[in-house]
Structure 1
Amino acid sequence: MPNSRPRSRPRRGAAIAAGRDELVSRSLQSAEHCLGARDFGTAYAHYLLVLSLAPELKDGVKETFQYTLFKWAEELDALNRIQDLLSCYEQALELFPDDEVICNSMGEHLFRMGFRDEAAGYFHKAVKLNPEFNDAKENFYRVANWLVERWHFIMLNDTRRNLAYNAAIQKAVCSGSKSVLDIGAGTGILSMFAKNAGALSVYACELSKTMYELARDVVSANKMDTGIKLLHMKSLDLEIPKHIPERYYKFSYLQLTIFLMQARIMMDTQGNLAIYVLIQNNTQSTYFKRKIVNCAEMKPHNIFTKRLKVVVKDVAGIHLPPNVKFQSPAYSSLDTEETVEPYTTEKMSRISGGYLALTECFEIMKVDFNDLQELKTLTTKTPGQISIPVIKEGTLDAIVVWFVLQLDEEYSLSTSPGEETCWEQAVYPVQDLADYWVKPGDHVTMEASCQDCYLRINVLALDHEMEVVKSFTKNKDLLSFGNEAELCSALANLQTSKPDCVEQMCILESTEIALLNNTSYHEGFKMAMKRVLSSLAPEKLCQAMDTQCQDNEVHCGTGQSYTAQDIPEPFYVLDVSEGFSVLPIIAGTLGQVKPYSSVEKDQHRTALDLISEANHFPKETLEFWLRHVEDESAVLQRPESDKLWSIIILDAIEPSGLIQQEIMEKAAISRCLLQSGGKIFPQYMLMFGMLVESQTLLEESAVQGTDRTLGLNIAPFINQFQVPIRVFLDLSSLPCLPLSKPVELLRLDLMTPYLNTSSREVKVHICRSGQVTAIPFWFHMYLDEEVKLDTSSEASHWKQAAVVLDNPIQVEMGEELVLSVQHHKSSVSITVKK
């Protein structure tokens, strides 16, 4: 029967199709049943089977599949099954490769895990797939600030720097240096300078995946991809001939773009390339210069104290114990577990109020990059001491350091405060010498070293009468001492006894230190919390704020006393501020309050316990809320099943000047957890802004054409990482010309959300002719109708932000512009209509 086999095929195919349809149908039913039972893992497996068997059903089940994926991913994340989580997203993206929602969600998980490069790729793809996808745009803008540092734009716009490098490289290549290695290639601009100059072999090494891919696109667009070999790796891992197929180890030209002082040595044994990477430079030498300065404004909020030292002893009535030492990472010693940069950086020319140089400029160190032996011994040699004469009277706050890059005998660059350059200056705060008063005739002795791969500077002493000058300069009674015995007696009275307990070190970020120094912030919260608690139950609030516990009674400043059985139910106050916060302790001084803190770090909890003890808090008064919740995302909960919070403190504004992510979602949850009459702090915020002309903001936000990069096509590629909002600005020192008065742009109400709008138009009157390039903005945070915190105030620990226009607008005095303000979650966008 020759026709039997052909006739059986259609029947077998139909049977297979029917079986597949039956399996798909059952799997769909099982998936829906599992979703109802909140068994997301099994539901996800069923959907995978359905979509692999019936791809034509993708559109119909897409939204349900997304929901299932996201819920299952949350469970995997909570269980720390990271690999399974990533595998699920990879499977989902194989099925939906062009789904912007899945791409964005994958990026969010990667970013939380610390994979910023990979996260940016997914955010960027989501934005490309849907340019109107606001969640993805917000995520990409935030991560872009991490991936492509803003100094790349400033550096590429620095024509003087680029001309000097180009000239020096061209001169070296024309003089016979034909093989070039560029370490820390960035966008590849120096490599392209070398190739244009005629170098035969150019190798560009870049560790950052984002910058490597960016350099690859830039080099290709400039038609140099065949002449420049890009290496995505750590320079210390370079080997010959594995990575660089050269017959000899030494390159005739080595250009380094590592910033400041991070020394690394890689020995040329076993075929490894000998590279000595120290201090930003190209080929010749670097002179480090510095001067000792103090801030012209001798106030607690100057830059050297506001963000680097805790200068207050009491915070809204809370005493900071002397055995708790709060330090910036810049003060960390070599003995700390994690080596951190021993300096901060500032654009000294922009410091509000200026600064006073207490010494002349002096050279601290010279490094010759062509002296191999010098480079080998630089990180091991004994620190050298320097004694510098003082020329002005003042308090020694910090040592400011910059360098002169001697590219060759002819070309050099200086990064001094007086130069208009892309570089900032390094600021070394003076350690352990608070109120260190100096005068002409004194000599400051210090030592400098590079022993742990950073340039470190330590002030040792003055040459004479250091303690007398330090302690008595401002005391007129010093002149009344008649003899040496009386002076010695007075000095003896300065001695303080050592604390009985061991000193506790608490490392805080500069923004956290600035917060502790912000007196008005804490006083404002204390006043607002007291008013809320008084309105809830006046008889429970201790007006004297000095609760005493004796025997079996609790006495309050109201004159009332309660036995243990009659103690009234306490108020519950939850502080979910980001980072270190003493607000829960302040709340605990307001009577029958049970404060909860959400600080995460053990050292911060220990510091808060010591502060509580120093202020005679009863033991266990302060609770650390993260110990009570299994998942940090569930931090907004009830303290007990039948209790509600009286006050919930939210961090509404980031130190960078932006609205905190998910603040509106947190507020929505918080409102459901408040007792009747309870409040969220802040209750609402007003956003203010003004129109300005600022060339600085333009140059720090995007590369301006090809002229500044000497004709190279770089701008379109790096400007993909241009963000519409510049953060961490200090408006008091920003070079700009105001073109309007401040206007209210937006209201965000956390307690009464129906007052919020997602968009509004604001008319702005032009008070000065010019070119609108940016709209700086800041916030007034209202804890209640009377207590307002201004994020732009002089004492503020917050920075400000600014929307930078893609296309500046020319305006004349008397005109009006209309600003269209759009608010989506924690993202705000502003467009200008003329």
Structure 2
Amino acid sequence: MSMETKLLLVLTATNLSVHLKLPTQRHRATHGMPNASVRPKHGRRNRRRRREDPARNELVCSSLESAQQCLFNQDYGTAFVHYLLVLNLAPEFKDFARESFRFTLFKWAEELDSVGRIQDLFNCYEQALELFPADEVILNSMGEHLFRMGFRDEAAGHFHKALKLRPDYPEARENFYRVANWLVERWHFLMLNDHGRNQKYQQAIQKAVHSGCNTVLDIGTGTGILGMCAKKAGAAEVYACELSKTMYELACEVVAANGMDGGIKILHMKSLEMEVPKDIPQRVSLVVTETVDAGLFGEGIIESLIHAWHHLLLPPQTGENDLRDPAATGRVIPAGATVFGMAVECLEIRRHHRFCVSEVGNLSMAAAGGLRSPVSCSSEPDESMEPYTTERLSRLPGGYKPLTEPFTALNIDFNNVKELEGLSSREVQQVRLPVTQEGELDALAVWFQLHLDEESSLSTGPHEDTCWEQAIYPVHCVKGFVLKPQDELVVEVSCHDAYLRLCSVAVVRDGCEIRLDKRVDEQRSKNPVSSPNPEAELCSALACLQTDQNQTKGFCMLECAEMALLNNKDYHQSFCSALAKLISQLKVKCQNQEHGAGIESDPSDLATDCSHLHYVLDVSEGFSLLSLIAASQGHVKAYSSVEKTKQQEVLKRLAKSNRIPEENLEFWLNRMEDEQGMLQRPSREKLWSAIILDCVETCGLIRQKLMEKASLARCLLEEGGRIFPERIVVYGMLVESDTLLLESAVQGQEPTLGFNIAPFINQFTVPVHVFLDFSTLECRHLSEDVELFVLDLMNANANYVNREVKVQATSAGRVTAIPFWYHIFLDQEISVSSLSQNSHWKQAAVVLQQPLEVRAGDWVRLAVKLHKSTISILANVESVPGTMDC
């Protein structure tokens, strides 16, 4: 493989997971090879000194020499074996050989990884950690490999150990911060900070235990708080299970710290795998759980409760006249739930799930076909689609409009096993909802009331201050349909696969029912209309709603953020203008050079003369139209890194319908096996006229290894070529936000329900919060926005790693966080902002470990640092000594 191809692969290398991107570290020895002739120093002689073994010494020396020679020959596997032998035979060489051993391990691990020898790779790391159990660099590197293989819990454990050994180790710290969001999700902090919710659960458990339920199982224990509530209430035996290794270990620490490790048995397993008497000695009289998501059933509560009733719980009470001792019967907390829903209009939901525009970057999108997000609900399960997504309706930019009154979608009794077993086979329920406000139908929003017992309940409604979001069932349409008062919306409710499914299936207007899930020509055959009337108006509107049947069958799926990006006309128009300007400049430059050389050329030949083609490479993550926009400029051959076949087909159709020659658009990752064909370019000093980099993750962070990619991209540009964007300016602001504090750590000095939990779960606090909507974040602005940092992708000499910024407080308050966002300059004049209303990007915020008290007029000094594309900020008030880390 040529050097150019390697550089291009680095540029387009796909980072680790959507919502987590971990850097791959490359470690090199910083010290020379150990000198075999150097004797280790000894302190005072022991009374019994080990007898010298000449054969051992000779083997150690020869193995050291062999290891060095193998390293010079890049035979890392053999070198690794020699080092293992030396360090096992002569542990006194560990300090001398540590750096060389690390280097050998990491190079050998790279080779094993490249050929798929994963088990051998981890065996090598385990052997290395037997020799160096407290080596933070080896622990961190093994964590990275574990994460890439999908073992998030184990990876986090290694990052955490590395940090405990060396708290200032930046690579381990950044890795741990990025993985912590997945292991201990932010709702854990919100939940523990929700005093009302905690007290209601505690009261319900206390009442059940006092009524005779003295054996308890906590399913999905998390931090162990519900199990500890049961033990504190006087339960004789308490068991708990937790699937996540991280949360299991955390629960064990919490329970032990509260003096209950002898009274609560915690199992690291699914409740579905538990058996009596193998795992618990006998059936329990009470199950407590909170394994519910925004859609109620998404965490598998139905399956786990059915199993519990059959295998782990005592039989339920049979009725009010059941006189058995409560200790001889079983029950569940929560006792049941009521699910509510309503139809809503919401632009923010619409643009993330439905294709809404007809033109993007001067390209007609008529030939795009069926495009939709991966969230789509039907009464029949589809494994390729998620039935719902989640949003906090109260925080959606632009808000939402209820189009119907809330309706009851479902009631479920968790203490009735027959009802639980019959849920999936329930007949589809059809609900008719009177429309109360005119608006475009975008989604059905769903929430629930969780009945802990007959007296106490919790609501997850959109107006409640709760740790739960609402479930969103988006409506997929090519063009929105406006509901009007006096219409009725027909909704079907089903639970075929123990997921709650709500589908908008029909609209009734003036007695005419039109199915939303059928083709328009079928509707017209069933509902013939001969004259203009409300039915004709409805049919006409729905004709715009439906898509072509062939397109529907072959729809192309885009991620929600990709759909929002596709709907962002301003973003694409900015790129269109910047690319057009660059190509125009390069054309003029090319013509001037030809005239200067005395070369005559027919302008009509420019399109076919390869020497006049300009090459553009788009290495955006996921689906991108930018290569097509570049190809539409004329005299441009554009290369796209889109990999999915259906998405490539969409680009090809759009190219054809917009009269872009087929040969002007390439998918270069498809040509990797045909390297010679891919790399046949004109002979010139550099290859590319423009390289488009995807610089910001949807969550609001700079993409990992961005500056390294920019450095490589600059090496591949022709003279006058450009990286898009050329510069990123980071802006921020001082704010006071209790919301961010509640989402970042357990707050306050008082124990949670009297239990010591905060010091343990707060180990998973991360300083940077992501996926924020700054426009709806509950906060007070304490300053004007200020430029924090500049990343110059075209000029490496203009970059720096540290910057100090002074910000003046405009109001008195507590600085709790510094939200930040980006102005992304495509060139000197054209820019896009990640803070704009129609941006597909969210924002991020640094949350201070200790809030700073400021008065109006105070100056706050911010020390901003960029390390491997990660931004960190230290803050302190100039009038107050000491620096607060954040």
For residues 770 and 670 of structure 1, do their structure 2 counterparts lie closer, same or farther at Cα, with a shift above 3 Å needed?
same
Paired residue for 2:162, among 126, 137, 150?
126
Letter in 1 for 2:286: S
User: Quick one: distance in 1 between partners of 2:185 and 2:495?
Assistant: 25
Q: Is the 8 A contact 2:139 2:162 kept in 1?
A: yes
Q: Give how far 1:434 is off.
A: 4.0
User: Quick one: distance in 2 between partners of 1:71 and 1:452?
Assistant: 47
Letter in 2 for 1:426: A
1:258 to 2:304 alignment = no
For residues 591 and 37 of structure 1, do their structure 2 counterparts lie closer, same or farther at Cα, with a shift above 3 Å needed?
farther
1:196 to 2:232 alignment = yes
Q: Give how far 1:447 is off.
A: 0.8
For residues 336 and 532 of structure 1, do their structure 2 counterparts lie closer, same or farther at Cα, with a shift above 3 Å needed?
farther
1:45 to 2:81 alignment = yes
User: Quick one: distance in 2 between partners of 1:226 and 1:822?
Assistant: 47
User: Quick one: distance in 1 between partners of 2:552 and 2:452?
Assistant: 50
Q: Is the 8 A contact 1:241 1:271 kept in 2?
A: no
> How far does the alpha carbon of each residue in 1:325-366 deviate from its partner, in whole angstroms, 9 at most, with x for none?
221121165767636542222222223333222222221111
Paired residue for 1:286, among 316, 334, 337?
337
User: Quick one: distance in 2 between partners of 1:269 and 1:719?
Assistant: 32
Q: Give how far 1:499 is off.
A: 7.2
Q: Is the 8 A contact 1:157 1:708 kept in 2?
A: no
Aligned partner of residue 303 in structure 2, secondary structure: strand
| Structure 1 counterpart of 2:395 | 350
| Structure 2 counterpart of 1:773 | 816
User: Quick one: distance in 2 between partners of 1:289 and 1:712?
Assistant: 34
| Structure 2 counterpart of 1:220 | 256
User: Quick one: distance in 1 between partners of 2:660 and 2:116?
Assistant: 37
User: Quick one: distance in 1 between partners of 2:607 and 2:619?
Assistant: 32
For residues 701 and 500 of structure 1, do their structure 2 counterparts lie closer, same or farther at Cα, with a shift above 3 Å needed?
closer
1:95 to 2:128 alignment = no
For residues 594 and 766 of structure 1, do their structure 2 counterparts lie closer, same or farther at Cα, with a shift above 3 Å needed?
same
User: Quick one: distance in 1 between partners of 2:429 and 2:790?
Assistant: 57
> How far does the alpha carbon of each residue in 1:723-762 deviate from its partner, in whole angstroms, 9 at most, with x for none?
0011100000000000000001111111112211211111
> How far does the alpha carbon of each residue in 1:185-228 deviate from its partner, in whole angstroms, 9 at most, with x for none?
11111111111111112111111111111111111111111111
Paired residue for 1:399, among 438, 441, 444?
444
Q: Give how far 1:710 is off.
A: 1.5
Q: Give how far 1:27 is off.
A: 2.9
Q: Give how far 1:321 is off.
A: 4.2
1:445 to 2:490 alignment = yes
For residues 610 and 180 of structure 1, do their structure 2 counterparts lie closer, same or farther at Cα, with a shift above 3 Å needed?
farther
Paired residue for 1:645, among 685, 688, 695?
688
User: Quick one: distance in 1 between partners of 2:369 and 2:87?
Assistant: 60
> How far does the alpha carbon of each residue in 1:2-39 deviate from its partner, in whole angstroms, 9 at most, with x for none?
xxxxxxxx9x975x42x433333333333333333322
> How far does the alpha carbon of each residue in 1:461-484 deviate from its partner, in whole angstroms, 9 at most, with x for none?
1222679999xxxxxxxxxxxx95
For residues 611 and 83 of structure 1, do their structure 2 counterparts lie closer, same or farther at Cα, with a shift above 3 Å needed?
farther
Paired residue for 1:537, among 568, 577, 587?
587
Paired residue for 1:36, among 72, 75, 97?
72
Q: Give how far 1:582 is off.
A: 1.4
> How far does the alpha carbon of each residue in 1:293-333 deviate from its partner, in whole angstroms, 9 at most, with x for none?
223xxxxxx21112111212221022334563221121165
Paired residue for 1:174, among 196, 200, 210?
210
Aligned partner of residue 59 in structure 1, secondary structure: helix
| Structure 1 counterpart of 2:417 | 372
> How far does the alpha carbon of each residue in 1:603-626 deviate from its partner, in whole angstroms, 9 at most, with x for none?
333333333333333335332232
| Structure 1 counterpart of 2:605 | 561
| Structure 2 counterpart of 1:518 | 568
Letter in 1 for 2:702: I
User: Quick one: distance in 2 between partners of 1:662 and 1:316?
Assistant: 28
User: Quick one: distance in 1 between partners of 2:131 and 2:683?
Assistant: 43
Q: Is the 8 A contact 1:685 1:780 kept in 2?
A: yes
Q: How does 1:112-151 map to 2 (within 5 A)?
A: 112-151=148-187
| Structure 2 counterpart of 1:670 | 713
| Structure 2 counterpart of 1:507 | 557
For residues 250 and 515 of structure 1, do their structure 2 counterparts lie closer, same or farther at Cα, with a shift above 3 Å needed?
same
For residues 335 and 47 of structure 1, do their structure 2 counterparts lie closer, same or farther at Cα, with a shift above 3 Å needed?
farther
Q: How does 1:407-486 map to 2 (within 5 A)?
A: 407-432=452-477, 434-464=479-509, 484-485=530-531
Aligned partner of residue 789 in structure 2, secondary structure: strand
Unaligned stretches of 5+ residues in structure 2 = 1-47, 316-331, 517-528, 592-600, 878-886
> How far does the alpha carbon of each residue in 1:377-436 deviate from its partner, in whole angstroms, 9 at most, with x for none?
011111101111112222222221111111112111111112112211112212337422
Letter in 2 for 1:561: D
Q: How does 1:379-394 map to 2 (within 5 A)?
A: 379-394=424-439
For residues 24 and 168 of structure 1, do their structure 2 counterparts lie closer, same or farther at Cα, with a shift above 3 Å needed?
same
Q: Give how far 1:664 is off.
A: 1.3
Q: Give how far 1:832 is off.
A: 1.0
User: Quick one: distance in 1 between partners of 2:616 and 2:502?
Assistant: 44
Q: CA RMSD in A?
A: 3.1
1:788 to 2:831 alignment = yes
Q: Is the 8 A contact 2:735 2:816 kept in 1?
A: yes
User: Quick one: distance in 2 between partners of 1:638 and 1:807?
Assistant: 58
| Structure 2 counterpart of 1:315 | 360
Letter in 2 for 1:773: T
Paired residue for 2:851, among 805, 808, 831?
808
For residues 617 and 40 of structure 1, do their structure 2 counterparts lie closer, same or farther at Cα, with a shift above 3 Å needed?
farther
Q: Is the 8 A contact 1:442 1:464 kept in 2?
A: yes
Range with bigger deviation, 786-795 or 589-598: 589-598
> How far does the alpha carbon of each residue in 1:577-615 deviate from its partner, in whole angstroms, 9 at most, with x for none?
111111111111122222222233333333333333333
Letter in 2 for 1:172: A
For residues 192 and 26 of structure 1, do their structure 2 counterparts lie closer, same or farther at Cα, with a shift above 3 Å needed?
same
| Structure 1 counterpart of 2:669 | 626
User: Quick one: distance in 2 between partners of 1:600 and 1:683?
Assistant: 25
| Structure 1 counterpart of 2:268 | 232
> How far does the alpha carbon of each residue in 1:130-152 deviate from its partner, in whole angstroms, 9 at most, with x for none?
11111111111000011111000
| Structure 1 counterpart of 2:519 | none
> How far does the alpha carbon of each residue in 1:762-790 deviate from its partner, in whole angstroms, 9 at most, with x for none?
11111011111100001111111011111
Q: How does 1:688-699 map to 2 (within 5 A)?
A: 688-699=731-742
| Structure 2 counterpart of 1:479 | none
Letter in 2 for 1:202: V
User: Quick one: distance in 1 between partners of 2:679 and 2:125?
Assistant: 30
User: Quick one: distance in 2 between partners of 1:630 and 1:66?
Assistant: 34
Paired residue for 1:723, among 766, 772, 780?
766
User: Quick one: distance in 2 between partners of 1:806 and 1:424?
Assistant: 26
Q: Is the 8 A contact 1:184 1:205 kept in 2?
A: yes
When normalised by structure 1's length, the TM-score is: 0.88
Q: Is the 8 A contact 1:341 1:454 kept in 2?
A: no
Q: Is the 8 A contact 1:177 1:253 kept in 2?
A: no
User: Quick one: distance in 1 between partners of 2:352 and 2:680?
Assistant: 35
When normalised by structure 2's length, the TM-score is: 0.83
1:20 to 2:56 alignment = yes
Aligned partner of residue 114 in structure 1, secondary structure: coil
Letter in 1 for 2:752: T
For residues 25 and 604 of structure 1, do their structure 2 counterparts lie closer, same or farther at Cα, with a shift above 3 Å needed?
farther
Q: Give how far 1:268 is off.
A: 6.1
User: Quick one: distance in 2 between partners of 1:375 and 1:305?
Assistant: 34
> How far does the alpha carbon of each residue in 1:682-732 deviate from its partner, in whole angstroms, 9 at most, with x for none?
211111101000000000000013547222111000000000011100000
Letter in 2 for 1:581: S
Aligned partner of residue 208 in structure 2, secondary structure: helix
Range with bigger deviation, 783-792 or 706-715: 706-715
